[in-house]
């Protein structure tokens, strides 16, 4: 008891800590109120640990002050770091929703910089001097690239589906195959979005098979729309029958009903030449007769987060007038980045070299070997004493709920720390800045080089080395 009160009296005052020279280096750019709160927090924790702790050794006043100052400095450094931090993605998942999905290419980055730093003609028609539409810079590009008559862009594809259903089918029925009642991550489920939009879901067929006849039998005077949902994040294989968009379009013409296709991860170039699965492109779905197509901006398209709606002008005009459009509208940064991304597709041959998502998906074996070899060598040189380093064959994934059955052969640098577990190494790397995210497998940390960007190798090797060294000393 006696000792505890001595210890408590030894604790420095807030002012003493604030004026300690040891703290000076941590104060730059930190608001005073945050600094004072940090000091108070550290002192309070010390007080509590003295009160609850058993036989605490009695440090000198100087030592106690120094350790409080050091802890405060660490707290200040931590709280001055932005909460949204850069991450080196060594998971091999190209469109990792948790890591922000698509990376933007140089053109889109420059466009965002331009739109962020200055005023733009976002809603001003520079020819007439009158009010313009924020969708105008995008619509011409989208109709050209997709073959659709008109286009509209909203906040994300979930909003695009909601807006389309609410405009075309509120209080009326939408016919969908039971095998296409998709759930995408983050609570987007077709039946729930349908309910939210005010449309009535009319499920037809069985999980594995839905025939054109099933749709035909369900058509009645309340039917507003035939909906096809691309089962982008799972596959139904075996004894199956899906009614295609072209078959739905034929039915739609017969009954004068519009047909909508939610493609999810819509894309504009055929990636089969690179060994990826055959998936319908937006152009193909439009050509097959879909009246409305919805897809994401930040999945395989490789642009900013957005939901793109392309289709017949008459239907798109109705959507543009729906007040919901205003609630889910895109901002100028999205307009700028999406325009720059779409422009890259005007020359489809060029697009795979300019859109980071496509570049990563189409990396050839030579490039992967080069990247893995260089990283492994760098790591062996820096940290060979602390870990076993090897290069192994792995499979990367597309991610973002796209092409779930595409296994892309890739290479990973595997790090097996000698003195501690791979889990601990992974945790240390997550705490770094930039954070590094890999995969832990059989007590090794796997760093898939497909998603490691050019120019990140040195930072990555430095981070792994520092984490290994820290693990040894702490
Ligand atoms: C991903 C996806 C969505 C949702 O798109 P977001 O852009 O993430 O809102 C909707 N439908 C399908 C089929 C999808 O794959």
Query: Residue 354 corresponds to which tokens in the numbers above?
Result: 């300019």
- Please report the atom of ligand 1 found closest to the CA of residue 307: 7
Stated pTM of the model: 0.92
* Whether the CB of 153 sits within 6 Å of ligand 1: no
Q: Is residue 75 in contact with ligand 1, taking CB distance under 6 Å?
A: no
Q: Does residue 449's CB lie within 6 angstroms of at least one atom of ligand 1?
A: no
Pick the CATH number of 106-352 from 3.30.420.40, 3.40.640.10, 3.30.70.1520, 3.30.56.10: 3.40.640.10
**Domain 87-97+361-473 identical in fold to domain 106-352:** no
Is any ligand 1 atom within 6 A of the Cβ of residue 264?
yes
| Ligand 1 nearest-atom number relative to CA 229 | 13
Torsion sign over Cα 132, 133, 134, 135: negative
Distance in angstroms (rounded) separating the CA atoms of residues 49 and 211: 70
Distance, CA of 180 to CA of 109 (rounded, Å)? 36
Closest by CA to 68, choosing from 26, 14, 28, is: 14
Q: Which atom of ligand 1 is nearest to the CA of 263?
A: 13
Picking from 48, 40, 36, the residue whose alpha carbon sits closest to that of residue 4 is 48
Burial 30-49 (b: 16+ CB within 10 A, else e): eeeeebeebbeebbeebeee
Sign of CA dihedral 208, 232, 91, 158: negative
Spell out the per-residue pLDDT of the chain, length 474, in tens: 577 888 888 899 999 999 999 888 888 878 889 999 999 999 999 999 888 876 566 778 888 899 999 999 999 988 888 899 999 999 999 999 999 999 999 999 999 999 999 999 999 999 999 999 999 989 999 999 999 999 999 999 999 999 999 999 999 999 999 999 988 776 789 999 999 999 999 999 998 899 999 999 999 999 999 999 998 777 788 888 999 999 999 999 999 999 999 999 888 998 888 888 888 899 999 999 999 999 999 999 999 999 999 999 999 999 999 999 999 999 999 999 999 999 999 998 889 999 999 999 999 999 999 999 999 999 999 999 999 999 999 999 998 878 877 889 999 999 999 989 999 999 999 999 999 999 999 999 999 999 999 999 999 999 999 999 987 776
Q: Which one, of 348, 245, 369, lies nearest residue 302 by Cα?
A: 348
Query: Burial level of 20, CB count in 10 A (0-12/13-18/19+)?
Result: middle
Pocket-testing residue among 176, 188, 191, ligand 1, by greatest number of atoms within 8 A of Cβ: 188
Torsion sign across C-alpha atoms 46, 48, 53, 56? positive
d(CA 211, CA 460): 52
Domain spanning 87-97+361-473, CATH architecture: Alpha-Beta Complex (3.90)
Q: Which residue's alpha carbon is at the smallest distance from atom 6 of ligand 1?
A: 157
**SS3 call for 251:** helix
With left for phi above 0 and alpha for psi between -120 and 50, is residue 256 left, alpha or beta? Answer: left
- Strand ordering across the sheet containing 444-448: 93-95, 387-399, 408-417, 444-448, 439-441
Domain assignments of the chain as residue spans, ordered by start: 2-80, 87-97+361-473, 106-352
Give the atom of ligand 1 at the shortest distance from the alpha carbon of 158.
Answer: 9
Which of 158, 282, 290 has most ligand 1 atoms within 8 Å of its beta carbon, as the pocket-test mutant?
A: 158
CB of 307 shorter than 6 A to ligand 1: yes
H/E/C letters for each residue in 217-246? HHCCCCEEEEEEECCCCCCCCCCCECCCHH
Using the atom order of ligand 1, give the atom closest to the CA of residue 401: 15
> Does the Cβ of 184 fall within 6 Å of ligand 1?
yes
Nearest to 449 by CA among 460, 440, 462: 460
Among the atoms of ligand 1, which is closest to the Cα of residue 97? 8
Q: Is the CB of 157 under 6 A from ligand 1?
A: yes
Atom 1 of ligand 1, nearest CA residue? 264
Residue nearest to atom 2 of ligand 1 (CA): 264
């Amino acid at each position: 008891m006696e000792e505890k009160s001595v210890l408590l009296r030894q604790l420095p005052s807030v002012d003493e800590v604030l004026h300690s020279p040891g703290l000076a280096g941590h104060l730059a750019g930190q608001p005073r109120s945050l600094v004072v709160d940090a000091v108070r927090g550290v002192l309070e924790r010390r007080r509590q640990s003295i009160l609850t702790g058993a036989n605490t050794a009695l440090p000198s006043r100087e030592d106690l002050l120094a350790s409080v100052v050091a802890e405060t400095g660490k707290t200040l450094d931590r709280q001055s770091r932005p909460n949204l931090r850069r991450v080196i993605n060594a998971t091999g998942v190209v469109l990792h929703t948790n890591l922000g999905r698509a990376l933007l290419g140089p053109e889109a980055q420059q466009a965002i910089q331009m739109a962020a730093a200055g005023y733009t003609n976002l809603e001003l028609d520079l020819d007439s001097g009158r009010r313009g539409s924020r969708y105008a810079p995008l619509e011409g590009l989208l109709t050209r690239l997709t073959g659709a008559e008109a286009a509209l862009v909203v906040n994300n594809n979930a909003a695009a589906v909601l807006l389309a259903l609410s405009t075309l089918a509120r209080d009326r029925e939408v016919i969908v195959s039971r095998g296409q009642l998709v759930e995408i991550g983050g609570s987007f489920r077709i039946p729930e979005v349908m309910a939210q939009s005010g449309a009535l879901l009319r499920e037809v067929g069985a999980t594995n098979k839905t025939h054109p006849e099933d749709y035909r039998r369900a058509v009645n005077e309340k039917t507003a729309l035939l909906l096809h949902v691309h089962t982008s994040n799972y596959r139904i294989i075996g004894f199956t029958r899906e009614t295609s968009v072209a078959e739905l379009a034929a039915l739609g013409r017969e009954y004068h009903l519009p047909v909508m296709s939610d493609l999810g991860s819509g894309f504009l170039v055929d990636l089969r030449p690179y060994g990826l699965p055959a998936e319908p492109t937006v152009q193909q779905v439009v050509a097959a007769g879909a009246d409305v197509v919805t897809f994401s901006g930040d999945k395989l398209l490789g642009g900013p987060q957005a939901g793109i709606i392309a289709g017949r002008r008459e239907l798109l005009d109705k959507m543009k007038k729906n007040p919901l459009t205003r609630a889910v509208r895109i901002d100028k940064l999205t307009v700028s980045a999406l325009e720059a991304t779409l422009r890259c597709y005007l020359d489809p041959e060029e697009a795979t070299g300019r859109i980071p998502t496509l570049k990563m998906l189409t990396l050839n074996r030579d490039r992967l070997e080069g990247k893995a070899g260089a990283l492994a060598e760098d790591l062996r040189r820096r940290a060979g004493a602390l870990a076993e380093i090897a290069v192994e064959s792995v499979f990367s994934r597309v991610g973002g709920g796209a092409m779930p059955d595409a296994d892309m052969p890739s290479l990973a640098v595997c790090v097996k720390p000698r003195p501690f577990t791979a889990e601990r190494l992974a945790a240390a790397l997550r705490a770094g800045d930039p954070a590094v995210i890999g995969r832990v497998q059989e007590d090794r940390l796997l760093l898939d080089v497909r998603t490691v960007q050019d120019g990140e190798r040195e930072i990555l090797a430095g981070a792994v080395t520092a984490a290994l060294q820290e693990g040894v000393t702490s």
